[in-house]
Chains A and B, each alone.
Chain A
């Protein structure tokens, strides 16, 4: 306890000195009049979804900045009509696009209608994240169809890609599904667990690639993790057996007068588990992207190339750590899903 207190005081002391440093830094910044590099804006732009795949900006001879980006299709559903065009028609947010009776413009990365009943149309666009997701689906189908075909051919030892994937599949079955759900029922939930494991793993790894096909912050997108956690929530509760519901509405061994407290708490528990699951994945991946981008931003904040070796060194370290995190988060998500499902379907021994 003493050591804990000691470390807390030390850390607080460090924190206070750092705050002082920060304060003096901001004072210094206000004096400079040149164009400031806004790290927060750059980072937020990179971790949020977009209608185009931004690659780089270059400044031409006249000092005008030109963004270079790969356009992606925009699919909008407005007032019963489907409007499809490429995002390049927005000219990086400078132009308004007229399609049929509707006019659209980019409002901070979101498509909005210039005039009309609904300001934000229903957006089915293939955005950066959707593109990344479709790519990972395509890669996963390719990998597993290849692996599946190699098993159909012969009954010998796995070869090629199969010999790489088989340990991973066996790992999910023997170390995640069977210990948590039980030998009897594990096979029923294995397809979901395997899908979610490889899907998250593939998307995490694609997000770590810093250039075109990758770099989308898909698993760090809250909508994506909400969807995955919602599927786990549905599977858990739809497969919950009598014991599972009994433990929620009439916890055994608890006196009846505690029920007004126990039932709301248990009901909150049903929702808290998937919420913790979705925030963990979202926050881990987003934090990873932010850290890497912040370290790169250091070069531009200090405006010197001298800091680059430090920056690149740290980024390399963080990237290696993120490789671990990418696998770890896929594992944790699958493990906790299996745990929740296991708790819902567990056969309790009655004495």
Chain B
């Protein structure tokens, strides 16, 4: 089950990568348009990124459980 679990973890990373990439890109755009709102945008960005990362880590945990059995 090891390689299959690795593929699963990899797929989860794709999703998280797209999610965090989109958040980061939008935050950059927002900061470029309104540099005075940088700190607020950054906080919101980090929270959203952490939430996306959390979902990706669910998948990693499932992969780990599969791989360790």
Contacts and interface: CB of A to CB of B under 8 A. Distances in A.
A and B bind? yes
Interface of A: 4, 7-8, 11-12, 15, 18-19, 22-23, 40, 44, 175, 276, 279-280, 282-284, 286-287, 328-329, 332, 335
A329 B57 CA distance: 13
A280 B18 contact: no
Nearest to B14: A11
Interface string B25-55: 0000000000000000001001100110110
Given A15-B7, A328-B50, A332-B50, A279 B58 contact: yes
Contacts, number: 51
Contacts of A280: 50, 54, 57
Instruction: State the 7 A-B residue pairs at the shortest beta-carbon distance, nearest first.
Output: A283-B57, A280-B54, A11-B14, A15-B10, A283-B61, A332-B50, A287-B57
A175 B46 CA distance: 14
A98 B63 CA distance: 40
Main secondary structure of the interface of A (DSSP, over half): helix
B61 A328 contact: no
Contacts of A44: 68
A8 B18 CA distance: 9
Contact of B54 (A18, A23, A284): A284
B47 A284 contact: no
Nearest to B67: A40
B6 interface: yes
Contact of A279 (B14, B17, B61): B61
Contact of A276 (B3, B11, B54, B61): B54
Contacts of B20: none
6 contacts: A15-B7, A19-B3, A19-B7, A23-B3, A282-B61, A332-B47
**Chain A CB within 10 A, most for which of B17, B54, B68:** B54
Interface size classification for chain B: 20 to 34
B7 A328 contact: no
Given A283-B57, A328-B50, 18 more contacts: A4-B18, A7-B17, A7-B18, A8-B14, A8-B18, A11-B10, A15-B11, A276-B54, A279-B58, A280-B57, A283-B54, A283-B60, A283-B61, A284-B54, A287-B57, A287-B60, A332-B47, A335-B47
B19 to A, nearest CB: 11
A8 B47 CA distance: 24
A15 B15 CA distance: 13
A279 B14 CA distance: 20
A91 B33 CA distance: 65
Nearest to A12: B14
B14 to A, nearest CB: 5
A56 B53 CA distance: 33
B67 to A, nearest CB: 8
A338 B54 CA distance: 18
Contacts of B61: 279, 282-283, 286
Given A4-B18, A8-B14, A11-B17, A22 B6 contact: yes
Contacts of A7: 14, 17-18
Nearest to A283: B57
Nearest to B4: A19
B53 A284 contact: yes
A23 B18 CA distance: 27
Contacts of A287: 57, 60
